[in-house]
Chains A and B, each alone.
Chain A
Amino acid sequence: MANLSLQHIDKIYDNNVQAVFDFNLDVKDGEFIVLVGPSGCGKSTTLRMVAGLEDISNGKLLLDGKDITNAPAKDRDMAMVFQSYALYGHMTIYENMAFSLTLRKENPNVIHKKVLAAAEILGLTSQLNKKPAQLSGGQRQRVAMGRSIVRNPKLFLFDEPLSNLDAKLRGATRREILLLHKRLQATMMYVTHDQTEALTLADRIVCMSMGHVQQVGTPLELYDSPANLFVASFIGLPPMNFFDVRVNGGQLIGDQFSTTLSEAEAHLLARYNGKTITLGVRPENITAGGDITMKVSTNENLGMNTLVHGHLGNATDPANKITAKLRGWCNYKDGDIVPISFNKKHFFDKETTNAIKED
């Protein structure tokens, strides 16, 4: 059992720089929470505060109802996996994995059983007599995870564990972490700046920017119903296209296009009639054919899809830049005019940048 509760957590450094503002989150037992955001958004600081490696300036941290706000890191029963693995180079993999238990003076036979069990889970059994330098980056990261598993902690904390790995290994190790979570059913908190990791691993994602939580929700919620412009632009690859448009009855009038709203969309935007809002369209929600045109500048064939970059209409300014992810292998040339349509639209308030939702 490990229910973690972060209540009104702030982090203010000695030089009065505030890194985290009023962070609130309840992590349920067995949940996989991913903190995602750009560099410097406060996600690692939050994780380090949970681990006890940073002091909490304000607020409360509860683990299974017990206040651990000021508890030292060693008493929190949490295990952290770092980006840099933090393995002891002079020890074998077995010794590295057994080290924390040896320090606790646990029975060597019990340690042995735990290390072998963890090595079996992680596929490291044949590597136990090797030194970390003899292993690949992915294997080393698995050892770091194994070192956490043997401790059987209440909470696993991962601080960008895949950032040191190449793209192929990152994908494989990501799947291993997912399998590990399914197998252990442990509560995990994971920090990453990679939205693909966040979307594929998380039960719930906490999207952060500038120390503030922007949205907490399932991967689908963040992808399908972003709370604001930041979340909409951060989640999704390629990122969402944004255009300033004016609501005019049942129509949206843009600089280079106009499109008719569905009944539900028109109802949603009724209170914005005559006002300018921000329209968001994901590249994958654009299809070839329709009454909107784009002028192609570059074409990236990905096999099943083609990323077509260009501008709406005849424009050349950045405000009308657009990327469409079209199905199939397309051979558009620079300057080609392609008719397109927007299948799914997201609307954001121009002033607050929040998503426009039903009242």
Chain B
Amino acid sequence: MSDDRTIQRDRMRFTRNTLSANLVLLAILFDVFYFINIYKSDINHDVGNFYYQFRIGASIILNLVFMLAAFLSSEGIKNYKVQYAYLLIGLGALQIARIFILPLQALRTEVTIAGNTGTVMEMAQFVRVTIYLIISSICCFASAVIGIKRSRELNEHLASLGLTANA
């Protein structure tokens, strides 16, 4: 292994995995974009009214849980804790799944407003929120992959020095 690579690995003993942590924060940011766009309504598309049932509460709770878990993971992954990387993979999958829960249903459901029949959510809005969720998901996956890789490298390096992860 080259000298530079060894130093790079050794640096991890004293520096944090800020790349992974920042990717998770980016995932939270795009989740926020998704959430502030999902209920946008206009005269022909009444998304707000469509959700105005128990699902709006569940949606808010789910969003809060995601943000909390993601923030917790960003702190964990920053310190090379690999279990948080697995949690992030789950959160990434959840963001993908969310596309099929509310946005897709709203796109497929037709309503009649003032005699005009159309989908609850217009295509442009669907594409926008889907992109936000996909980016958020990619950030989670990328953060997890980088986290796992770096965590393994650090553990191998510590083992070669005869140290443990807590040393």
Contacts and interface: CB of A to CB of B under 8 A. Distances in A.
A115 B15 CA distance: 12
Interface string A73-110: 00000000000000000001011000000000000110
Contact of B7 (A94, A95, A113, A128): A113
A109 B14 CA distance: 12
B11 to A, nearest CB: 5
A6 B69 CA distance: 60
B158 to A, nearest CB: 12
Among B10, B13, B15, the most chain A Cβ lie within 10 Å of the Cβ of B15
A129 interface: yes
A109 B7 CA distance: 6
Contacts of B4: 109
B49 interface: no
Nearest to B15: A94
Interface in A106-139: 108-109, 112-113, 115, 128-129
Contacts of A112: 7, 10-11, 14
B14 A94 contact: yes
B8 interface: yes
Interface string A260-274: 000000000000000
Nearest to A93: B14
A15 B15 CA distance: 48
A227 B4 CA distance: 57
Nearest to B12: A112
Nearest to B3: A109
Contacts of A108: 8, 11, 15
Contact of A129 (B7, B10, B11, B14): B14
B7 A92 contact: no
A95 B78 CA distance: 15
Interface in B1-32: 4, 7-8, 10-11, 13-15
A196 B92 CA distance: 64
A27 B13 CA distance: 40
Contacts of B14: 92, 94-95, 112, 115, 128-129
A10 B8 CA distance: 49
A94 B4 CA distance: 19
B165 to A, nearest CB: 12
Nearest to A128: B14
Contacts of B15: 94-95, 108
Nearest to A126: B167
Contacts of A92: 14
Nearest to A115: B14
B6 to A, nearest CB: 9
Contacts of A95: 14-15
Contacts of B11: 108-109, 112
A14 B15 CA distance: 46
A109 B15 CA distance: 12
Interface string B69-112: 00000000000000000000000000000000000000000000
Nearest to B4: A109
Contacts of B10: 112
A146 to B, nearest CB: 13
A115 to B, nearest CB: 8
A325 to B, nearest CB: 50
Contacts of B8: 108-109
Nearest to A129: B14
A129 B14 CA distance: 6
A92 B13 CA distance: 12
A128 B12 CA distance: 12
A95 B4 CA distance: 20
A112 B12 CA distance: 10
Contacts of A113: 7
A50 B13 CA distance: 37
Contacts of A129: 13-14
B150 to A, nearest CB: 14
A132 to B, nearest CB: 15
Given A108-B15, A109-B11, A128-B13, 8 more contacts: A94-B14, A94-B15, A95-B15, A108-B11, A109-B8, A112-B7, A115-B14, A129-B13
22 contacts: A92-B14, A94-B14, A94-B15, A95-B14, A95-B15, A108-B8, A108-B11, A108-B15, A109-B4, A109-B7, A109-B8, A109-B11, A112-B7, A112-B10, A112-B11, A112-B14, A113-B7, A115-B14, A128-B13, A128-B14, A129-B13, A129-B14
Interface of B: 4, 7-8, 10-11, 13-15
4 smallest A-B Cβ distances: which pairs? A94-B14, A109-B7, A112-B11, A128-B14
